[in-house]
């Protein structure tokens, strides 16, 4: 098996164009976006205006790699200014269906954690409010009781 080193090439731009029919593959290209970004004139999705009445969402994500979810207390968040709704996994079955994740065997996956979290960053709750700032502020008022499970690093001996 051959190991490729950094900087090693497998052909020239001319060879690449002849074999792929694409003049851009395998060639250095001049960047066109740098001037706008470096001078503060870059445009991003967050710069786009929103229509009046648009609601904004903030997502509460798990800080734990593996935990069983208990009570999710969002009463204070619901009372916060501008908050229209707080959604948790308990709300999902009435409105949607899980999507199927294709791994070794198909398994159902909900968009919010239902009974436990399985990775750091898994969505647990969503706060919907009249502005991004109000949604993020109300997110701080959501309290989640959870039983954190221990985990084993896959590189450690005996971790399975």
Residue 72 belongs to a domain = yes
pTM of the shown model? 0.67
70 in any annotated domain: yes
Q: Is the pLDDT higher at 55 or at 21?
A: 55
Domain range for 116 is 51-148
Model pLDDT, residue 9: 52
Q: How many domains does the chain have?
A: 1
DSSP letters of 91-153?
GHHHH--PEEE-SSS-EEE-SS-SSEE-STT-EEEEEEESSHHHHHHHHTT-EEEEEEPP---
User: Which pLDDT value is given to residue 6?
Assistant: 46
Per the domain annotation, does 144 fall within a domain?
Answer: yes
What CA–CA distance (Å, rounded) separates 86 from 81? 13
Quick: pLDDT tens for 41-74: 888 888 888 889 999 999 999 999 999 999 999 9
- The CATH number for 128's domain is 3.90.1170.50
- Mean pLDDT lowest among 28-37, 70-79, 91-100, 147-156: 147-156
């Amino acid at each position: 098996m051959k190991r490729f080193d950094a900087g090693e090439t497998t052909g020239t731009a001319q060879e690449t164009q002849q074999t792929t029919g694409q003049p851009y593959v395998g060639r250095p290209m001049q960047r066109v976006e740098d001037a706008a970004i470096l001078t503060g004139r870059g445009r991003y999705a967050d710069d786009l205006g929103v229509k009046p009445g648009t609601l904004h969402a903030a997502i509460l994500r798990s800080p734990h790699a593996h935990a069983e979810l208990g009570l999710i207390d969002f009463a204070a968040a619901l009372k916060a200014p501008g908050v229209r709704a707080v959604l948790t996994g308990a709300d999902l079955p009435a409105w949607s269906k899980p999507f199927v994740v294709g791994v070794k065997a198909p398994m159902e996956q909900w968009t919010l954690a239902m009974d436990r979290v399985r990775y750091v960053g898994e969505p647990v709750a969503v706060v919907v409010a009249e502005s991004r700032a109000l949604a993020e502020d109300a997110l701080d008022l959501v309290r989640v009781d959870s039983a954190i499970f221990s985990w084993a690093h896959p590189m450690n001996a005996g971790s399975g």
